[in-house]
Amino acid sequence: MADSATANKPPTTHPYAAGELVLDAIPEDERLWVPMTDGVWFRPLMFNTVQGGWCHLIRVRKAGVVSRHRHPDPVHGLVLKGAWRYLEHDWVATEGTYIFEPPSETHTLVVDEGVGEMITFFQVTGSLHYVDEAGKAIGFDDVFTRIDLARAHYEEVGLGADYVRNFVR
Ligand code: FE
């Protein structure tokens, strides 16, 4: 029932539109961080199953190489905490740095000694392909493999596998 204050306002969201997402990006609940490898986690924000891709935070709490991979599709990043670099480039991303990674970019993320913890927001389009030293593809991730990883983790920590649906659009 519309009262006089809302009666003349047009709806701001189409009834067929996907639900909005408003999240505490860096959560109190540690269980929301999905472990990937030793000292590396991702925190899902939005799994985009329609366009293919996802938004997440990456958190690294150890020094060293995180992964080597190729992006066939564009990536945007914004460093929220700490610092890191790619072996293939001569710049260092620090708190507040925005990064655009064009399609074809292949890189190896490194966190240097003394950083302690880095947290970076990434919007990943499409998929990413893990590659060996020669650039040969040895595996991949896309929105569905990431959903599966998160599902398994949320099940294991007692949130329930379907908790991942909170982030799926
Ligand atoms: Fe990357």
Assign 2 a pLDDT band (cuts: 50, 70, 90): very low
Q: Give the domain 25-167 fold.
A: Jelly Rolls (2.60.120)
Pairing of strands 83-86, 34-37: unpaired
Joined together, the tokens standing for residue 50 give: 């329609």
Residue 117 predicted with pLDDT over 50: yes
pTM: 0.92
Note the pLDDT of residue 147.
98
Confidence of residue 42 (pLDDT cuts 50, 70, 90): very high
Both tokens of residue 117? Answer: 């913890």
- Could you report the per-residue pLDDT of 10-21, keeping only the tens digit for each? 888 899 999 999
Contacts of 35 (CB under 8 A, 6+ apart): 41, 153
Ligand 1 center–CA 116 separation, angstroms: 20
Instruction: Find the 86 Cα to ligand 1 centroid distance in Å.
Output: 9
* 76 CA from centroid of ligand 1 (Å): 9
Taking residues 138-145, report their average pLDDT. Answer: 97
The ranges assigned to domains in the chain are: 25-167
Nearest to 109 by CA among 135, 138, 89, 125: 89
- Residue 103 C-alpha to ligand 1 middle, in angstroms? 10
* Residue partners of 144: CB distance under 8 A and separation at least 6: 49
3-state secondary structure of 144: helix
Cα 115 to ligand 1 centroid, rounded to whole Å: 19
Mean per-residue pLDDT, 108-117: 96
Spacing, Cα 113 to ligand 1 middle (Å): 20
